[in-house]
Structure 1
């Protein structure tokens, strides 16, 4: 859209150049490619180009000559994902970060035109977004133009989202001191403080169920869209490797990209146009990354903010030309309380597409079988519950448990969870 605006401004003789800023190299490269295609000119920041695309990180090292262009020529400045840049025109500079202060000092009042964009127009730290206007006294963000999900779906620009909340209706925790504790959901289990949200993410049973359901959906979609692909957002590098192993067991050959992956951006670019089915990412494919063939996503990240949730969902909603209109985007996520609330807010954005259903995944296990298995809890509860699991999913022994007894107990504990966590159900929002 912004590239089309830039083209119209060039044709009307309103601007001489375009300068774009965005939060990552991957997005910056995508911006450059799009502007070059729409404008029909190079967009590499060199002589003869229509402009250039840069990251916010590069602002501190850009040559003075580039900033002088804003004052000496008619320039359109595009600020993508502006919520990364905080600051206001008040005297309190502490309200802003370095990117926001640079925008206020070097771009505001110097550029002929400025377009600031965000798919998630708020900051989790509640500081003001640079260049944004807020109503008084309630502090609501005022947007000059808003294009929401409902209209985008109606216009055929975005796919309709389907959010599958995976829960477990019978979870047992047992200790010699507290006896057997039974919980009817992931949310209730976490609320008691003995098991954390990451503990669920690292369990093979949880990973296998989520991947199995997502893989079935992807295969179904590929019958209509052969190049459709799936994304898994992992918590850590070790977690990504664990997920890759589980996907490989399903006969897949996933691509993995993390901050440690050499040439990660090139791998992402290759995946964008390949026929590979799955890519697993740790912090590399979130906001702004444009891979329209992504249509299924497993959200297995430890990050539980609404901003991140919506950014991840956005990766699977970019419709491709000629795509069947009934094919939607599918997000699989655990039914943790915050994530469930974020899903329902997405549902509120699309009142005409309110669909909630329950689908039990297995019959109830014999309750008597649970009594013979050992259980674990978080490390800080090890003295109370006997066993713990650390942030990488590695089993740790509790007090006084060593040697052969430890090995036996851990094996039993894994068996216990395999039995209990087979009682999955999916709620489709």
Structure 2
């Protein structure tokens, strides 16, 4: 076993090798940023050295993550994972599975194949009627044909409560059974992940002027949460409010300045709602004298842009769905959350982008966001590590006529663009369908804030 492995990686590999003597499947839940890809590559190396497998196939939810798998496996195995002549295997997106022909899948019958599924929660399986397209491929093509399978997830639950492919659940409780679990609190204690510091921005005097009436009505609210629950103002409209953007960027920039005094290449991530929103934020950063790159699914050579940023000293990257899950940029240490997505799965995946630790001294990660009630609840639960109730399979009635109609926000993240020949062109991540949507008409109200803001620190380990 490689000496540079983290303790959890070594323990997980040892347990997987032992389990593979009696079962072909292994499910690992490890917090985002813990190093699941490296663990999977080292496990593949052990299986190859023990002459238990001939080939390796990896599947992941986006092109960026696939490239990370190819790079890490090539480094660990000393052989390419690009599917070309002389390679030890291949890595593809889940979407690309639909475009592989029978000759490709015949590999699982002709050779002993180790298959790795990253962020397996994107694949709903078990029952063909309750599976999504990716889960069906695993059920029909892989589950009973692969020599061994490794399912990985940092957030092993689905927002639609369907079973995850290759996962086992207790009966009758429906609790997910992980063969190995490595939580955020353990990762922080062992120095694997940074400790999150989540800052919620609030305002105790919000003024709303409603303009749709003859006499404009002026109302005051003691918090952003009250404004959102007792008025027609939407969370998304606040995300586009120039003053809100400026305040969140001010906090993020100040923290980034502080961190860069001891870590000069530290960087920040701004997670946006759509392309126009990203450009608005880029303009706001420029007005502050900041440098930043914008990357969306419309960005030419987006993967190259992300790779260039990974190895540069540019301060900010402004992303729409492109850097939320699995993308490895260790120098990211500050995040401003300005996405309209409010699911715990997406929120935790974004937080994971700034948790990957690189030095003994970079023990903290910072996330700044509005004090919106749902997001505040997620932040409060971060300190509880993985809420076990989210990994419980709930029973529900089948109401849709087509399995594809079950596509959820968990599935929407990580679709890959595929041309008619099955070649991966880019990725449609997170809010991709909304990136090119027209902006709605201006609201019939104006919101202003008191100069005095309140900052609440949560999720401090």
Checking the alignment, whether the CA contact within 8 Å between 2:191 and 2:363 is kept in structure 1 is no
Query: Which residue of the other structure, out of 165, 168, 178, is the alignment partner of 1:143?
Result: 178
2:366 to 315, 327, 330: 330
SS in 1 for 2:48: helix
Matched, 1:156 2:185: no
**What CA distance in whole angstroms lies between the structure 2 residues aligned with 1:310 and 1:341?**
12
Compared with structure 1, are the counterparts of its residues 209 and 15 closer, same or farther at alpha carbon in structure 2 (3 Å cutoff)?
A: same
Structure 2 residue 266 is matched with structure 1 residue 237: no
Q: 2: distance between equivalents of 1:43 and 1:280?
A: 30
**Aligned-pair distance for 1:50?**
1.5
Q: Whole-Å Cα distance in 2 between the matches of residues 32 and 421 of structure 1?
A: 50
Map 1:5-404 to 2 at 5 A. Answer: 5-88=43-126, 90=127, 93-175=128-210, 179-320=217-358, 323-349=359-385, 392=439, 395=442
- For 2:273 and 2:148, locate their aligned partners in 1 and report how far apart those are by CA, in whole Å: 39
Once the two structures are TM-superposed, the CA of residue 179 in structure 1 deviates from its matched residue by 4.3
Count residues in correspondence: 368
Whether the 8 Å contact between 1:224 and 1:324 is mirrored in structure 2 is no
Deviation string 1:194-246 (CA, Å, 9 cap, x unpaired) is 21101110011000010011011111111121111100000010000000000
Q: Does 2:458 correspond to 1:422? A: no
Whether the 8 Å contact between 2:193 and 2:363 is mirrored in structure 1 is no
Distance in 2 (alpha carbons) for counterparts of 1:42 and 1:391: 43
- Greater helix proportion: 1
Shift in Å, 1:421:
4.3
Q: Is the contact made by 1:228 and 1:294 (CA closer than 8 Å) also made in structure 2?
A: yes
| TM-score normalised to structure 2 length | 0.77
CA RMSD of aligned residues (A): 2.0
Contact 1:202 1:393 in 2 (8 A): no
Task: For residue 63 of structure 1, report the CA deviation from its aligned partner.
Answer: 2.9
Cα deviations across residues 256-293 of structure 1 (Å, max 9, x unaligned)? 00111111111011111111110000011110111111
The higher relative CO (CA closer than 8 Å, separation ≥ 6) is in 2
Give 3-state SS (helix, strand or coil) of 1:117's partner.
Answer: strand
Compared with structure 1, are the counterparts of its residues 327 and 263 closer, same or farther at alpha carbon in structure 2 (3 Å cutoff)? same
Structure 2 residue runs of 5 or longer lacking an equivalent are 1-38, 387-436
In 1, are the aligned partners of 2:273 and 2:338 still within 8 Å (CA)?
Answer: yes
In 2, Cα distance between equivalents of 1:151 and 1:62: 39
Q: Higher mean Cα deviation, 176-185 or 196-205?
A: 176-185
Q: TM-score, normalised by structure 1?
A: 0.82
Tell me how far apart the structure 2 counterparts of residues 307 and 193 of structure 1 sit (CA, whole Å): 28
2:153 match: secondary structure: coil
Whole-Å Cα distance in 1 between the matches of residues 372 and 98 of structure 2? 40
- For structure 1, the 5+ residue unaligned runs are 351-389, 399-409
Which residue number in structure 2 is paired with residue 368 of structure 1? none
Whole-angstrom CA distance in 2 between matches of 1:200 and 1:137: 43
Q: Runs of 4 or more off by more than 6 Å in structure 1?
A: none
The 2-side partners of 1:115 and 1:303 are apart by 29
Preserved CA contact (<8 Å) 1:198 1:391: no
